Amino acid sequence: MAEAPADLAVAAWAFTAGPDPAANAAAIAAGLDAAAAAGARVAVFPECALCGYPGAARADLAGLDWCALADHEDALLLQAARLGLVAVIGTAERGPAGVLNQALVGGAVAPVRYAKRSLTPGDRAHFAPGGRPLVVAVDGWRLGLGICFDLRFAPRWAELAAQGADAFLVPAHMAGVDVDPGTKAEVVPALCRVRAAEHAAPLLLANTAAADRWCDSLAVDARGVVVGAGGAGLLLRSLRHRSRLASWYGELRKLGHC
């Protein structure tokens, strides 16, 4: 049997993105520096952290300079590479079918993009859905990507587990008016715990730091236990592989036929 991978230091950098990608890029750059100084290997930023989330940071994506946005992406990935970090940056990209809400992964690994597949009604005014799951290999770990509303849909995470994901990374913009006040503050952390527990996969939620956020960024271990939470700034935790816990966790996927 292959040896379990060593613990993986991951960081969420929570900030409130605005309408100016240059200012957002500066905030992300500061987060990369902070994550590297703290000893992180992976740094995760909120949904649409670079472009600004439409309906919150900006009214819509009209007038966005896509070439400048791509330049910011390149500069941030170069910075992450110099720091030895894998960066996961919330951004957007124009595609043949429309604009995609994306997590851009790169830096210490070859660049790749995950496009959000589960769109809220509000998202559909701005984005087209993505089509494929994404699992990225880092230091012996296989990291499955999801974005925000994807958390609501169990098949998304079962698919990642079936592709061998050992942990889940979730950029998010969990904020705004809650039509049932207080509900999402209970439900979102519960979803994070369930997704981690049902696949024995630690999970990091990198949420916005906006004042109207429904919850803080969260780190959940492979048991489904919250092991860290934080508002603005850095949340750093080490992910422990399920096979380094009690033997039952290592067998859970076989028992569930994942």
- Structure confidence at residue 222 (pLDDT): 96
pLDDT for the residue 31? 98
Tell whether 226 is covered by a domain.
yes
Is 125 among the domain residues? yes
Cα–Cα distance measured from residue 60 to residue 62, given in angstroms and rounded to the nearest whole number: 6
Q: How many CB atoms lie within 10 A of CB 172?
A: 30
In what helix (H) or strand (E) does residue 124 lie, and over which residues does it extend? none
Mean pLDDT split into 10-residue runs, the chain, 258 residues: 86 98 98 98 98 96 96 98 98 95 98 98 96 97 98 97 97 94 95 97 98 97 97 97 88 69
pLDDT of residue 141: 98
Q: State the number of CA atoms in the 13 A half-sphere of 94 facing the CB.
A: 9
Overall domain count for the chain: 1
Q: Is residue 192 part of a domain?
A: yes
In a domain, 1, yes or no: no
- The helix (run of H) or strand (run of E) holding residue 204 is strand 203-206
pLDDT at 9: 98
Identity of the amino acid at 76: L
Do 215 and 207 meet the contact criterion of CB atoms below 8 Å apart?
yes
Q: Is residue 2 domain-resident?
A: no
User: CATH no. for residue 177?
Assistant: 3.60.110.10
Could you tell me the residue range of the domain that residue 87 belongs to?
A: 8-256
- What's the pTM? 0.96
Within a domain: 87? yes
Note whether residue 3 is domain-resident.
no
**Strand residue runs (E) in 42-201:** 42-44, 86-95, 98-107, 112-115, 135-138, 141-145, 167-171
pLDDT computed for residue 2 by the predictor: 66
